[in-house]
Homo-oligomer: A and B are copies of this chain.
Amino acid sequence: MADEPGVGSASVDSRAGAALAGTLEATPPSGLPVGPALPTISGSGAPTLEDVARVAGVSRATVSRVVNGQRRVAADIQAVVREAIATTGYVPNLAARSLVTRRTGAVIVVVSGAEEQGSPSTIDFADPFFGRVVGGMLRALRPRDVDPVLMLAETDSDRARVISSLRNGNADGALVVSTRGDDPMPGLLVEAGLPAVVFARPGRPIPLSFVDVANRDGARLAAEHLVARGCRHVAAISGPLDVPSAQDRLSGFQDAMARHGQAFVPTVGGNFTYESGVAAMTSLLAEYGDLDGVFASNDLMALGAIEALQASGRRVPDDVRVIGFDDSSVGAVSRPALTSVRQPIEEMAAEMARILLDTIADPGRRVTSTIFEPTLRIRDSA
């Protein structure tokens, strides 16, 4: 730590600086500490429309028209105005604009999770899924000059905060990513009549647009691959069956296997974690020792299954083939690399963003669902 950079003063804290938390003056009951409003003619802050108008020798309205391309403005005046904008370094104040337009140019990305029971959170930000979704949205939002505002929704009060943010135009709509099947968030959004799109089909039918992957097709792909590789005794590790996607993946897999001659598929439920994959595989093995193929409803459980398989002395894929679902990045670096059903998360997220933006632009837009086709990412485990 002798190599402190030459930045003025460095207060080096080895642990999270609890001391810092107290240095701020007592915050008022609610809201941020607010400073006095300066008389602000134009000397202190950023240039305003007014300033540009003065420099250009036109009215505010004209400048506004040029900035927004609203109505036709004579070419020469337009040039003068643009010149003035450049020299003043003017940038529109979005607060003022949204105050009158009632558009914010922002949407809320709601990461909706855990019940407020004992556990701190079911939301795992370290899950690459999260980043991929956000990244996908970003790609679609940015060209339309819309920014995502991140909000967590774990408790009722979190959800209320999301709703009220939306209700008074803090943002124009919501993109919801739930980590549970019975998430109340979509319902609240519909009730409030707010523009929103959710990732994955909601637990109960609800008039809300969503984007999803054809889970049954993905499971079928896995089944067919296993069968094609010669598997004859196949088992499944499912996710929590109150989650629609887990349900679909399981039933899709079972149906496909039935079509290929294996009417009964031994199944054990997990909860999408690595540990539950280990446990599920272990109990599967105890009862069905001659398994030669396993389909897990996500990659983490598939990895757990492989662990359990190897612990029992079986080789993957030689003795037992394993397929996961998600094509997550952990599957790519694991050994053996995981064969997995790939859902195009980024594209799905981008589509969510597009649908939401359309809905915001045209509130009368019909509720739609867009289903993406999964593909099989074949690696080493099957």
Chain A contacts to B: CB under 8 angstroms: 1, 3-17, 20-25, 27-35, 37, 44-46, 67-70, 91-96, 98-106, 109, 123-128, 130-132, 134-136, 138, 142, 144-152, 164-165, 167-170, 191-193, 201-202, 205-208, 210, 214, 216-217, 248, 274, 300, 303, 307, 310, 328-330, 332-335, 344, 347, 350-351, 354-355, 357-358, 361-362, 366-373
Could you give 25 example pairs across A and B, Cβ below 8 Å? A7-B206, A7-B210, A8-B366, A8-B367, A12-B369, A14-B214, A14-B371, A16-B372, A23-B358, A24-B358, A27-B144, A30-B67, A30-B145, A32-B101, A32-B105, A34-B101, A44-B102, A95-B98, A95-B169, A126-B328, A127-B128, A127-B131, A138-B152, A300-B333, A335-B335
Q: Which of A144, A168, A332, A335 is most buried by chain B, counting CB atoms within 10 A of its CB?
A: A168
Please give, as numbers and ranges, the residues of chain B lying within 8 Å of A96 by CB-CB distance: 95, 99
Please give, as numbers and ranges, the residues of chain B lying within 8 Å of A11 by CB-CB distance: 366, 368-370
Task: Determine if A149 and B106 form an interchain contact, defined as CB atoms under 8 angstroms apart.
Answer: yes
Task: Determine if A91 and B192 form an interchain contact, defined as CB atoms under 8 angstroms apart.
Answer: no
Task: Determine if A100 and B3 form an interchain contact, defined as CB atoms under 8 angstroms apart.
Answer: no
Please give, as numbers and ranges, the residues of chain B lying within 8 Å of A13 by CB-CB distance: 351, 370-372
A5-B201, A7-B367, A68-B30 known; A149-B148 Cβ under 8 A = yes
Please give, as numbers and ranges, the residues of chain B lying within 8 Å of A16 by CB-CB distance: 344, 347, 350-351, 372
A96-B99, A104-B95 known; A354-B20 Cβ under 8 A = yes
How far apart are the CA atoms of A350 and B329 in the complex, in Å?
26
Closest B residue by C-beta to A208: B7
Task: Determine if B69 and A28 form an interchain contact, defined as CB atoms under 8 angstroms apart.
Answer: yes
3 smallest A-B Cβ distances: which pairs?
A125-B135, A29-B69, A125-B131
A69-B31, A101-B37, A361-B25 known; A369-B10 Cβ under 8 A = yes
Please give, as numbers and ranges, the residues of chain B lying within 8 Å of A131 by CB-CB distance: 124-128, 130-131
Q: Which of A16, A92, A214, A344 is most buried by chain B, counting CB atoms within 10 A of its CB?
A: A16
How far apart are the CA atoms of A333 and B327 in the complex, in Å?
15
Choose among B46, B274, B370 the residue that contacts A167 (Cβ–Cβ < 8 A).
B46
Please give, as numbers and ranges, the residues of chain B lying within 8 Å of A100 by CB-CB distance: 37
Task: Determine if A126 and B134 form an interchain contact, defined as CB atoms under 8 angstroms apart.
Answer: no
Minimum CB–CB distance for A164 against chain B, Å: 4
